[in-house]
Amino acid sequence: MSIPFKGPDYRPFGGKVVLLGGDFRQTLPVIPDAGREDSVDSSLTRSYLWNFCMVLHLSQNMRLLPNSINEEPFFDVYDAFAENYYSISYLAERSIVTPTNQNVLELNDHMLAMVPGSVRSYFSCDTVHSDSNDAAAISSEYPTEFLNSLSFNGYPDHQIDLKVFTPIILLRNLNPSIGLCNGTRMMVVYLGHYVIRAIIMGGTFDGKTVAIPRIVLSINDYRWPFVLKRRQFPVRLCYAMAINKSQRQTLQHVGVYLLKPVFSHGQLYVAISRVKSPAGLHFLILNEAGIPSNYTRSIVYPETFSELEESATTALG
């Protein structure tokens, strides 16, 4: 989409042409405890700026290239794992995606146990931020052990267990100029006390060795009357990823792990569109009785596309 210049009295974005990339078939903005109507209303199509946008349609699916359809199918996402657990090219092209963080943790723990070598555990330093209202009183009410138990979407946990040769994903932008961006996948090659060294998998900086330090993250969650300050490495294992986190990833082999159906707009579409070839897509679907099934439901909010359809009609008219 682009926003055309409308003259001296109408200048969204200062009159500059701004390209906004997006796909409304994928997941919508995440709003805690919000319902369907709130999620739809928070999308770009409901913004006052939408009236200034011109929709541009992409014509070629770069993931699903014609010459990739004839690839030999894999029987399993992590086939021959014991022989390839240390191979960066092997790890770079595959992952399992699932709707919930709980399933992500269980899958990653299972895969970690299959990797030879000892585990290095990193523990965060958690405190109540001094900017919190009545921080001293809150600190006495919520002990460190309780702060350690808290887990938040998009943030590292109190305890991170890693081994050399395991794949990790970065959870924060640290230094985009050397490839350290939120969502960058890497393979661990060194686990130190103050730094983790890893090799970037894929993208412009593919093969580059980088150092990841501990950082301080401020977590403001509406459920708690304080701001949590957590000092931890901003990484997470990524043999498996949450479907929402997998956006922007392009892989050769993806396992869609659905112990329960997806629960929000666009999640299933995101999951099945991570691969370059249908041959690299594998499913494990359980029905309500916990029995393997061949079908699942997808959630789509048709009203999300209403503005797009109106724009297309106007353009054709």
Phi then psi dihedrals of residue 182, to 5 deg: -55, 120
pLDDT of residue 291: 82
- Domain residue extents for the chain: 12-59+301-316, 105-238
Question: Which pLDDT does position 72 carry in this prediction?
Answer: 32
What pLDDT does residue 167 have? Answer: 98
Q: Give the tokens for residue 200.
A: 């970037």
Specify whether the CB–CB gap between 167 and 91 falls below 8 A. yes
Q: What is the pLDDT of residue 123?
A: 98
The residue whose two tokens read 């199918």 is 73
Specify the amino acid at residue 54: M
- φ/ψ (deg, to 5) at 109: -65, -40
CA distance 180 to 183: 9
Looking at residue 74, its pLDDT comes to 33
* Residues in the chain with pLDDT values less than 70: 1-10, 22-27, 30, 58-75, 132, 305, 307-317
Q: What is the pLDDT of residue 314?
A: 46
CA distance 131 to 89: 45
Q: What is the pLDDT of residue 73?
A: 31
Closest-CA residue to 271 (of 79, 99, 140, 132): 99
Residue 290 near residue 84, CB atoms below 8 Å: no
Strands 94-98 and 240-242, sheet pairing: parallel
**How far apart are alpha carbons 237 and 170 in whole angstroms?**
9
pTM greater than 0.85: no
